[in-house]
Amino acid sequence: MRLEAKLKARGHDVAVANAGVSGDTTAGGRARIDWAVPDGTDAVILELGANDALRGLPADQARANLDAMITQLKAKGTEILLVGMRAPRNYGPEYTEAFDRIFPELAAKHGLLLYPFFLDGIALDTKLNLDDGIHPNARGVDVIVDGILPRTEELIARVKKKRALDASAVQK
């Protein structure tokens, strides 16, 4: 996994597991969150919603599903990096605005780290996408990994801080 390799090259002792399912929606993620993210998982990069938007599913439904997943993960003590998506512009301004607000608003509500747009730097760039124009090619994945790396390191720092606080509380 490229993200894990980059993090290890930067001195982080991490194991990254991809629990994503191709074509998944927030409803699918919500239905499988308990078994997809085992107890004891320190951190999650939560990136779901693109397929909801591509299918024009209701933005409030995607918000509710993401909110529920975040609540479940936080109840387990899991740190979260929320990765945002943007709605296709062809669904009109009402849908676009409603969908695009989901991620920053949930991040603020729950005190999460936010990477605003998963496809930042590659969306609509034919050199960085497969022939479908939607999914990144290998070069596009490298751009995504490089872009999300600083926020992922912030996530790791939060986990380390939490562990240190937990250890200090146990010692008292």
Domain harbouring 119, CATH code: 3.40.50.1110
**pLDDT at residue 73 in the model:** 97
pLDDT digits (tens, 9 = 90+) for 61-115: 999 999 999 999 999 999 999 999 999 999 999 999 999 999 999 999 999 999 9
Candidates 33, 118, 47, 113; CA nearest to 79 is 113
Number of domains composing the chain? 1
Domain that holds residue 62: 2-171
Judged against a pLDDT cut of 90, whether residue 153 lies above it is answered with yes
43 and 49 Cβ atoms separated by less than 8 Å: no
The tokens 């993401």 sit on which residue? Answer: 66
Closest CA to 85 of 129, 116, 64, 122: 116
Radius of gyration over every alpha carbon of the chain, rounded to an integer in angstroms: 17
Q: Rounded to the nearest 10 degrees, what angle do helices 138-171 and 2-9 cross at?
A: 60
- Residue 91, both tokens: 């669904």
**Rounded Cα distance, 145 and 119, in Å:** 10
Asked if residue 82 lies in contact with residue 50, where contact means CB atoms within 8 angstroms, the answer is: no
